[in-house]
Amino acid sequence: MIVAAAMLSLPRPLLATCVCLLLLPGGQGRILGYTNGFHYQDISNGNGHGEIYFNGIRLHVESPQSSVSATRGSTVTLPCHYHYEPELTTPRKTRVKWSWLPANTMTPQVSTETFLKETEVMVAMGSRHRSYGSFRGRVRLRRSAPGDMSLVINELQVNDTGRYRCEVIDGLEDDSVTVDLELRGVVFPYYSQKGRYHYNFFRAQKECQDQDATLATFEQLFTAWEEGLDWCNAGWLADGTVQYPITIPRDGCGGKNLAPGLRSYGQRDRVLHRYDAFCFAASVKGTVYFLENTTKLNFAEAIQACASDGSQIAKVGQLYAAWKLMGLDHCDAGWLADGSVRHPITKARANCGPSQPDQ
């Protein structure tokens, strides 16, 4: 029995799984030679310093969703709309900037310093726009109605997850809103065939990548724990912390007296310290299937059998994604690309492994 993943180009496709206001020194804070239709009032405080108070039209930027989830390889839209209060009688020229804070740099309390790490995704003004970095050629503004500045991302990648900021700028006025982008997928623990705790951070990154996955984020591991993931061995996460999920407290796993949750070792030395890895695999276009054979095969024979069938042997991340996201269920075990032998179970039953669904 072999677990195989077919290439898309072949008969069976592969499952791959802030605008600042500068007050002029010693003056009344006037913005010389500039008008944008907004109404400002200069107020002198009597000590030679001026202040500007806004008393006119106000710009609002909003999103109906604080988070959006999608699958790898798909097209996703991050909603963002702006409007004025009171409404304008004539349209104005605005500048829109989308920026991105990657998931592996996000923290529960985002500081001002963290905002400096935001990466530009796209800037647009009127019909002109420019996209940057890995987003170049993959993003556009939806513009389905007046004020719609929603960001459309094509061919969603695993590393696209994080917090996106939609900022609309009109002269001295600006406002912004954030939308979190999450990838639907599955978290799985991964460790060396030599036993547990053999990976430093960088090796853990590579091992996950080799299995068509990435190191999981804290949010992804937390979601997996909420869904029942219980694993006593500690593993690296994308932010450089080491943690493990416990649903049933017990000795050897933090102790019986601790409440269920994520046990954390905090930040560890990314070179010197060694642990396992928590990987995240996302859904991709393609199919994972079991290739039946009349005789049992060794690892080399399994690789060749998949190639002869117009496929390639599946990776661990691909099998996990097929099990979690597509309901793959098969009682017979098969070879995978890392040399391990596994089988996916969604309906627990006799003679198919443990009493709980797993691999």
Segment 290-317, tens digit of pLDDT: 998 888 999 999 999 999 999 999 999 9
For all residues of the chain together, what is the average pLDDT? Answer: 82
Amino acid at 110: V
* Per-residue pLDDT at 285 exceeds 90: no
Q: Which helix (H) or strand (E) holds 263?
A: strand 261-267
Length of the chain: 359
Q: Do residues 178 and 163 lie in contact, with contact meaning Cβ atoms separated by under 8 Å?
A: yes
Average pLDDT estimate for 100-107: 76
pLDDT at 196: 94
pLDDT at 318: 93
∠ at Cα 137 (135, 142), nearest 5°? 90
Residue in 231, 229, 212, 211 with CA at minimum distance from that of residue 220: 229
Q: Do residues 246 and 261 lie in contact, with contact meaning Cβ atoms separated by under 8 Å?
A: yes
Residue 350's pLDDT band, with cuts at 50, 70 and 90, is confident
Residue 60's pLDDT band, with cuts at 50, 70 and 90, is very high
Amino acid at 104: N
C-alpha pair distances (Å), 191 with each of 73, 166, 242, 270, 296: 27, 39, 14, 16, 26
pLDDT at 329: 92
Q: Do residues 71 and 156 lie in contact, with contact meaning Cβ atoms separated by under 8 Å?
A: yes
89-93, 107-111, 279-283: the lowest-pLDDT one: 107-111
Torsion over CA: 268, 183, 317, 9 (sign): negative
Residue 73's pLDDT band, with cuts at 50, 70 and 90, is confident
Q: What is the pLDDT of residues 218-267, one digit of tens each?
A: 989 999 999 999 999 999 999 999 999 999 999 989 899 999 999 999 99
12-21, 177-186, 308-317, 334-343: the lowest-pLDDT one: 12-21
No. of H helices and E strands in the chain? 5, 24
